[in-house]
């Protein structure tokens, strides 16, 4: 087993930057009713796997049974992505109702605190609420642009969404358990969706994030105002705002505060950012904080001459956004777009718009977001697995104006 040394470890963001409800008991039964509706809609639309038949077929690109993305222009214009349109990425099949059992009885074990305690969902739901609008994005979003053909789903822009998670603060829970044990440097969450017949160390989704996320993390049971569906990790999900999708553990049943990262494969060698052709090691950067990113969502192919309104989204790891600019000449000149709609907090994305007056012709239009730490780079950062792509050139759109 590889010895893990944490001192020289950095999140990919850092390394790439260097290179370039308080639910009353009575309402818990309603939770079950809502879930039943969502997970048991009458018939699955064509091409939609049975376990997510409640999803909006028109909004989705089905890569495989467990990897489904949102069309670039189907995230909606209301900042928050409708849950029927939100992407799905499963390493392991989602738990079904039978595996989950009676939802209020779902158990979460908390360790690495003064008084290790196991809580039920019903108990968590009586605690003070923490509500966080945030971007959920797979670390492989944009992988389709990598020319070396990395294995894994060839996501375009659609393994990303902006959603609102509601639950209880991880810090609140730890304090209820007498506080952290001395020397806690990481928060580790484990999913109950352990593949059958495989050593959990090899197959279970267990990830660690730095203790610096302590104040932001939550254990969520609702998304966009409804109980978290099975496919999105119900009944309880660890949410780490500003961090890539994989750190947001679905079906979480264990939370550990420790001085070391998990030695499970999902942490030690998966989701590592390393040179093309190399093998992953636990010393390569891991997919933690998201880098600053934006993309245009409409128009994507054609427009009429005259006034053309470009719309898109921009976000960061929580570092305040300064703005978004558009270029029609591959980055020689940039013009400021304006943000529209309310700011839902540092972890949510902002929608931007830009009005252009365009004559007949072909245009390549790029968007570039800037936060207080810097701007999106022009090019992707090449890496074996095709992670963390935030280059503006690949994400530009080619529009024919007629």
Ligand X SMILES: Nc1nc2c(c(=O)[nH]1)N[C@H]1C(S)=C(S)[C@@H](COP(=O)(O)O)O[C@H]1N2
Q: What is the number of the residue whose Cβ is closest to Mo ion?
A: 138
Q: CB atoms < 10 A from the CB of 318, how many?
A: 20
| SS3 assignment, position 39 | helix
Q: Which of 146, 155, 140, 138 is nearest to 382 (CA)?
A: 146
Contact positions vs Mo ion (CB under 5 A)? 89, 138, 245-246
Distance CA 100, CA 197 (A): 19
Q: Which of 23, 61, 177, 246 binds ligand X (CB under 6 A)?
A: 246
> Which of Mo ion, ligand X, none has residue 250 at its interface (CB below 5 to 8 Å by kind)?
ligand X
* CB of 131 vs Mo ion, minimal distance in Å: 23
Q: Please tell me whether residue 251 binds ligand X under the rule CB under 6 A.
A: yes
- Of the candidate residues 6, 34, 91, 311, the single one contacting ligand X (CB under 6 A): 91
Which segments within 331-379 are labelled E, that is strand? 335-336, 338-340, 350-358, 361-371, 374-375
Tokens linked to 307: 């006034």
Binding at 55: pick from ligand X, Mo ion, none (beta carbon under 5-8 Å per type): none
Nearer to ligand X by Cβ, of 231 and 308: the residue is 231
- Please give the Cα distance from 60 to 69 (Å, whole number): 5
CA distance 349 to 292: 10
Interacting partner of 219 out of ligand X, Mo ion, none (Cβ under 5 to 8 A depending on kind): none
Indicate the residue among 243 and 354 with the shorter CB distance to Mo ion.
243
Return the one option of ligand X, Mo ion, none that residue 232 interacts with (CB less than 5 to 8 A, by type): ligand X
Classify 397 as helix, strand or coil: strand
Distance of closest approach, residue 217 Cβ to Mo ion, in angstroms? 18
Rounded to 5°, the CA angle 232-237-243 comes to 90
How is 45-96 classified by DSSP, letter by letter?
A: PTT--GGGTTS-GGGEEEEETTEEEE-TT-S-SSSSPPGGG--EE-SSPPP-
Binding mask 197-236 for ligand X (x = CB under 6 A): --------x--------------------------xx---
Site mask, ligand X, residues 34-73, x = CB under 6 A?
----------------------------------------
Residue (252 or 324) nearer to ligand X, CB: 252
Nearest alpha-carbon partner for 396 in 358, 373, 368, 369: 368
Q: Which does 314 bind (CB under 5 to 8 A by kind): ligand X, Mo ion, none?
A: none
Within 113-152, the residues that bind ligand X by CB under 6 A are 136, 138
Q: How far apart are CA 168 and CA 260, in angstroms?
A: 24
Q: Is 87 in the site for ligand X (CB under 6 A)?
A: yes
Distance CA 231, CA 361 (A): 44
Q: How far is the CB of 218 from Mo ion (least distance, A)?
A: 19
Comparing CB distances to ligand X, the nearer of 81 and 319 is: 81
Element (H, E) at 321: strand 321-327
From 84-92, 116-124, 314-322, 370-378, span contacting ligand X (CB under 6 A): 84-92
Query: Which CB atom, from 254 or from 346, has the smaller least distance to ligand X?
Result: 254
Query: Given the complex with ligand X, which of 69 and 284 has the nearer CB atom?
Result: 69
Positions touching ligand X (CB under 6 A) are: 86-92, 136, 138, 191, 193, 205, 232-233, 245-246, 248-251
């Amino acid at each position: 087993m590889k010895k893990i040394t944490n001192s020289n470890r950095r999140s990919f963001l850092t390394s790439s930057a260097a290179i370039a409800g308080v639910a009353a008991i009575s309402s818990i039964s309603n939770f079950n009713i809502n879930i039943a509706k969502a997970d048991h809609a009458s018939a699955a639309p064509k091409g939609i796997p049975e376990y997510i038949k409640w999803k909006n077929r028109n909004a989705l690109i089905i890569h495989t049974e467990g990897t489904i993305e949102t069309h670039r222009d189907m995230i909606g214009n209301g900042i928050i992505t409708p849950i029927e349109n939100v992407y799905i990425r499963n390493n392991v099949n989602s738990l079904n109702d039978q595996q989950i059992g009676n939802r209020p009885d779902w158990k979460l074990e908390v360790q690495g605190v003064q008084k290790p305690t196991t809580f039920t969902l019903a108990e968590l739901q009586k605690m003070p609420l923490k509500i966080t609008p945030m971007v959920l994005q797979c670390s492989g979003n944009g992988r389709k642009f990598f020319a070396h053909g990395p294995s894994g789903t060839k996501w375009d822009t659609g393994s990303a969404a902006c959603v609102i998670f509601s639950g209880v603060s991880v810090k609140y829970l730890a304090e209820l358990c007498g506080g952290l044990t001395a020397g806690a440097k990481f928060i580790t969450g484990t999913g109950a969706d352990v593949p059958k017949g495989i050593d959990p160390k090899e197959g279970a989704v267990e990830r660690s994030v730095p203790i610096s996320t302590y104040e932001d993390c939550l254990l969520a049971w609702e998304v966009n105002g409804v109980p978290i569906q099975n496919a999105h990790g119900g009944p309880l999900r660890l949410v780490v705002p500003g961090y890539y999708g994989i750190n947001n553990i679905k079906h979480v049943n264990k939370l550990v505060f420790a001085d070391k990262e998990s030695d499970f494969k999902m942490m030690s060698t998966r989701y590592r950012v390393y040179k093309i052709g190399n093998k992953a090691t636990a010393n390569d950067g891991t997919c933690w904080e998201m880098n600053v990113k934006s993309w245009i969502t409409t128009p994507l192919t054609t427009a009429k001459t005259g006034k053309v309104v470009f719309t898109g989204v921009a976000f960061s790891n929580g570092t305040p956004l300064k703005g978004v600019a558009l270029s029609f000449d591959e980055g020689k000149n940039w013009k400021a777009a304006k943000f529209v709609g309310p700011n839902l907090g540092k972890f949510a994305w902002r929608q931007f718009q830009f009005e252009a007056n365009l004559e007949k012709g072909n245009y390549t239009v790029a968007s570039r977001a800037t936060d207080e730490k810097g701007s999106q780079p022009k090019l992707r950062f090449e890496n074996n697995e095709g992670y963390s792509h935030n280059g503006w050139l690949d994400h530009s759109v080619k529009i024919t104006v007629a």
